[in-house]
Amino acid sequence: MSRKFFWSFLLVLMMVFQSFTKGEAFHPYHVGSVEINYNAKSRTFEVTGRFFLDDMENSLGKKYGGAFHFNDEKYKAKLNDALQKYCAEYFKLKADNKFIKVNYIGYEEDQESVNIFMESEPAPAPKKVETAVSFLYNLFDDQINIVHIIVNGQRNSEKLTYPNRYLYKQF
- Please give the model's pTM, rounded to 2 decimal places: 0.84
Please tell me the predicted confidence (pLDDT) of residue 20: 44
The answer to whether residue 39 sits within a structural domain is yes
The answer to whether residue 57 sits within a structural domain is yes
pLDDT over 60 (residue 144):
yes
Mean of pLDDT values over 86-100: 98
Please tell me the predicted confidence (pLDDT) of residue 28: 75
pLDDT over 80 (residue 23):
no
Please tell me the predicted confidence (pLDDT) of residue 8: 56
Please tell me the predicted confidence (pLDDT) of residue 92: 98
Please tell me the predicted confidence (pLDDT) of residue 120: 98
Burial class (CB in 10 A: 0-12, 13-18, 19+), 97: exposed
Mean of pLDDT values over 40-68: 97
The answer to whether residue 142 sits within a structural domain is yes
Q: How many domains does the chain have?
A: 1
Phi, psi of 49 (to 5 degrees): -110, 140
- Name the average pLDDT for the chain: 90
The answer to whether residue 110 sits within a structural domain is yes
Q: Range of 91's domain?
A: 3-18+31-170
The answer to whether residue 23 sits within a structural domain is no
Give the least confident one: 63-67, 109-113, 134-138, 158-162. 109-113
Q: What pairs with residue 34 in β-bridges?
A: 49, 147
Please tell me the predicted confidence (pLDDT) of residue 22: 41
Distance CA 60, CA 69 (A): 10
The answer to whether residue 132 sits within a structural domain is yes
